Amino acid sequence: MPTRTPLIAGNWKMYKTVTEAVATATELVGRVADADDVEIMVAPSFTALAAVASALAGSRIALGGQNLHWESEGAFTGEVSAPMLVSAGCSHVIIGHSERRQYFGETDETVNRRIRAALDAGLVPVFCVGETEAQRESGETFSVLDKQVQMGLEGFSLNELTGLVIAYEPVWAIGTGKTANREQAQEVHRFIRELIEESFSIDLANAVRILYGGSVKPDNAADLMAMDDIDGALVGGASLKAETFSQIVNFKRSL
């Protein structure tokens, strides 16, 4: 079984002022200082990026953006470009989150363009895919994921996707308290990995990290992460408090 270093990513969504974000980041640095067996990333709001970058300086925590525009500059009021994220200190960016798809018109085509922009700027894309509760109940989970993965990665070469991270987030489990049990999550993660193998190569499939996102908490993180194809977590609400998020980061201590 290939060894993949787990990535625990915190998506702070539209929470925290700059002052609050810096305080959380500063506390988190202290709490995860000895967590050398995982990679850690947090994605604050755009307004807090530069300040949080300073708070994280010299630590092992990476900084991510929550979205980006596919153009590097232009008359796109309210948008943020990949070069802007890089200049603020980001190394990662979340792309295609279900909330962007649900509320802001994100499509598989625009996700593809955003991934291209991220890669061109040297950012690690955290590419989100997932089905709604209605789609799961009607047996469409795998067809939905097949379309999202294939269209999201269309036109990319094998070499371009070396650092790709995929996050499987069942929409019905985001912020609802519901969580796919570990067997359900493993089944989907295995399906996604096999899609990558079929579309690109077994080497990329073995290397790509597939995170689980959907009401991940300290009491279920270790159970989920014990599965062969779950390589970390994209954490929402539980990442907002340094104490809770650090417990997820240190999930191996519960194994």
- pLDDT of residue 113 exceeding 80, the answer is yes
Give the pLDDT of residue 255. Answer: 55
pTM of full prediction above 0.85:
yes
Model pLDDT for residues 133-164, shown as the tens digit of each residue: 889 889 999 999 999 999 999 999 999 999 99
In sequence order, which residues have a C-beta less than 8 Å from that of residue 232 and are 6 or more positions away? 6, 7, 8, 9, 38, 39, 209, 211, 212, 225
Give the pLDDT of residue 111. Answer: 98
Whether 97 sits among the annotated catalytic residues: the reply is yes
Torsions phi, psi for 231 (to 5 deg): -110, 25
- pLDDT of residue 103 exceeding 90, the answer is yes
Find, among 141, 108, 143, 142, the residue nearest to 127 by Cα: 108
Helix/strand/coil for 191: helix
In sequence order, which residues have a C-beta less than 8 Å from that of residue 185 and are 6 or more positions away? 168, 212, 224, 227, 230
- pLDDT of residue 215 exceeding 80, the answer is yes
pLDDT level of residue 171 (50, 70, 90 thresholds): confident
Catalytic residue among 69, 92, 97, 189: 97
* CA separation for the pair 178, 163 (Å, rounded): 30
Model pLDDT for residues 8-38, shown as the tens digit of each residue: 999 999 999 999 999 999 999 999 999 989 9
Percent of the chain with pLDDT over 90: 88
H/E element, 253: none
Give the pLDDT of residue 178. Answer: 72
Output the average pLDDT for the chain: 95
228 residue type, one letter:
D
109 residue type, one letter:
E
pLDDT level of residue 254 (50, 70, 90 thresholds): low
Catalytic residue among 69, 131, 169, 189: 169
* CA separation for the pair 94, 96 (Å, rounded): 7
The radius of gyration of the chain's CA atoms, rounded to the nearest angstrom, is 17
Please give the residue that has the higher pLDDT: either 113 or 182. 113
Model pLDDT for residues 126-135, shown as the tens digit of each residue: 999 999 888 9
Whether 69 sits among the annotated catalytic residues: the reply is no
Structure tokens, 30: 């202290």
Helix/strand/coil for 136: helix
